[in-house]
Structure 1
Amino acid sequence: MRDLPAELQARFEAAAHQLPGLDHAVYEQAQRDPRSPIFGLGADDAAIAFFGRDPGRDEVHAGVPFIGTGGRQVRRVLHQRQHGDELTDRAAAIAAGEPYFWANTVPYKPLGNKAWSMAIKRQFQPLVATVLHDCWSGSQVITLGREAFFWFGIGQTPDVRARLEAHWADPQRFETSPAISHAGPDGVVRTLTLHPLPHPSPLNATWFKRFPGLLAARLETLEGLS
């Protein structure tokens, strides 16, 4: 995984100084700087980005996103497709994610694993958008859960927000993919195609068992495999 550019890393650290709701106890247990964001940038030309909500305890301890119970659901599917066998350890889980780009709405662990408030998401949106626009050149984004999907409407035009609302209301939302015009903090607009999926947490009882099949179907389409 690549590191963030130094200037961008410093901007995140400044924004996270005295961040209310940050789970300092977990960062202290992990002996990690609570101001340092958790990203998994991957190659700048990765064909697909995974976009989730925020890191949890396992992600803080590992310093790697999407490595806890929910994230391993994602990485298990990736490993299975790459190697044809079951995921057995963390090293293999991390390796399975290397061909992809990884980001979250807010790259810090919140207290109680509750979603960050809209105010905090708005605070970090320009920085996270800069990561997407400047550190990744792709256009295909698999979003994990409602919070991740609707992040792409923050700071965007009413038309974009309306399209996201309409898509999420569609019963086929996990099988279809809206293309949106996403403006970065510098005003440059890129076309991103969003491929929403449910959040992979085991607490999401409605979708947890169906998630691997839904993700595999998305990847079949995006990676052109039969």
Structure 2
Amino acid sequence: MPQSFEQTMHEMLSQTRAVLTELHSLGVNELYLEDHGDVLPLCHEQPQCQTGRCDCRPPSLEEIRQELGDCQRCGLAQGRKSIVFGSGNPHAELVFVGEGPGRDEDEQGVPFVGEAGRLLERILFAMGLDREQVYICNVVKCRPPQNRNPQPDEIAACEPFLKQQLASLKPRVIVALGKFAAQTLLQQQTPISRLRGNWAAYQGIALMPTYHPAYLLRNPAGKRDVWEDMKAVMSRLAQEDSP
């Protein structure tokens, strides 16, 4: 017959008392509990940190996705099939940020799985990497109709989730793929042709703007520039103490 709740609790308390008594006999008068970060409240803004301790913690990718929910924050929700949140290694040192999902991404719910995605995979292969070693996401999580450019209100609705993703990932390097990713992260309107190839920073993280793979499909001559940018990224990642 199963023990009653009261009996179980009595046994647990007796065992705990015995352990504490033994520790006391050994001269242990205080117990120090590890300070786990997950007891901190979630950050809604940039955390304030002093001597390695912060007043809040960034949410996990799972918590961010849960908060996003069945998002209806902008008009893109009306025509989408899937929310394309992001995929890859949650501990990746290298993160690629694109513009938004296309038709194939909308169908599968995974970023960069169409023709542009296959080109990105070839770039990763040339870098000695694969999709499982990096993290890939987009500025907007839903497909703009006919793959048009995302509108400012759509970017504004999704940007907080992108910021939370990057805060959770804490990569060493971010690659901004194309105009909208670079301009959103850098908060400026400089053309991608002038931004690409020049190191910038996002929240203290090294950021390399470069051309979007979809642009390279239309303009193959740009592949040489992108490869130069990726070589700079590989060099940065190879440094033991990159800023």
Fold conserved between structures, TM > 0.5: yes
Aligned-pair distance for 1:113? 0.4
Paired with 2:222 and 2:158, the residues of 1 have a C-alpha distance of 28
The equivalent of 1:104 in structure 2 is 138
Extract unaligned runs of 5+ from structure 1: 28-33, 84-95, 155-160, 183-190
Paired with 1:207 and 1:21, the residues of 2 have a C-alpha distance of 33
The equivalent of 1:197 in structure 2 is 210
Q: 1:203 to 1:82 in 2, by over 3 A?
A: closer
Residue of structure 2 aligned with 1:70, choices 101, 116, 121: 116
Aligned-pair distance for 1:22? 4.4
Aligned length: 179
The equivalent of 1:42 in structure 2 is 89
The equivalent of 1:221 in structure 2 is 235
Q: Is contact 1:38–1:55 with CA below 8 Å preserved after alignment? A: no
Q: 1:219 to 1:12 in 2, by over 3 A?
A: same
The equivalent of 1:139 in structure 2 is 172
The equivalent of 2:19 in structure 1 is none
Cα displacement string for residues 140-176 of structure 1 (whole angstroms, at most 9, x for unaligned residues)? 111111111011145xxxxxx4xx74x8574xx4322
The equivalent of 2:197 in structure 1 is 175
Aligned-pair distance for 1:208? 4.5
Aligned-pair distance for 1:125? 1.1
Paired with 1:200 and 1:169, the residues of 2 have a C-alpha distance of 14
Q: Is contact 1:65–1:71 with CA below 8 Å preserved after alignment? A: yes
Q: Is contact 1:13–1:37 with CA below 8 Å preserved after alignment? A: no
Q: Is contact 1:200–1:211 with CA below 8 Å preserved after alignment? A: no
The equivalent of 2:67 in structure 1 is 11
> Normalized against structure 1, the TM-score is what?
0.67
The equivalent of 1:54 in structure 2 is 100
Residue of structure 2 aligned with 1:115, choices 143, 146, 149: 149
Extract unaligned runs of 5+ from structure 2: 1-59
Cα displacement string for residues 66-103 of structure 1 (whole angstroms, at most 9, x for unaligned residues)? 121112211112123438xxxxxxxxxxxx21111212
Aligned-pair distance for 1:41? 4.2
Q: 1:60 to 1:214 in 2, by over 3 A?
A: farther
Kindly indicate which of the two structures has a greater share of residues assigned to helix: 2
What code does the residue aligned with 2:210 have? L
Match of 2:125, SS state, is helix
Q: Is contact 1:74–1:215 with CA below 8 Å preserved after alignment? A: no
Cα displacement string for residues 172-197 of structure 1 (whole angstroms, at most 9, x for unaligned residues)? x43220124x3xxxxxxxx0211011
Higher CA-based Rg: 2
What code does the residue aligned with 1:148 have? A
Paired with 2:193 and 2:123, the residues of 1 have a C-alpha distance of 27
Paired with 2:106 and 2:228, the residues of 1 have a C-alpha distance of 27
Match of 1:106, SS state, is coil
Match of 1:210, SS state, is helix
Paired with 2:198 and 2:229, the residues of 1 have a C-alpha distance of 12
TM-align CA RMSD: 2.9
Match of 2:213, SS state, is coil
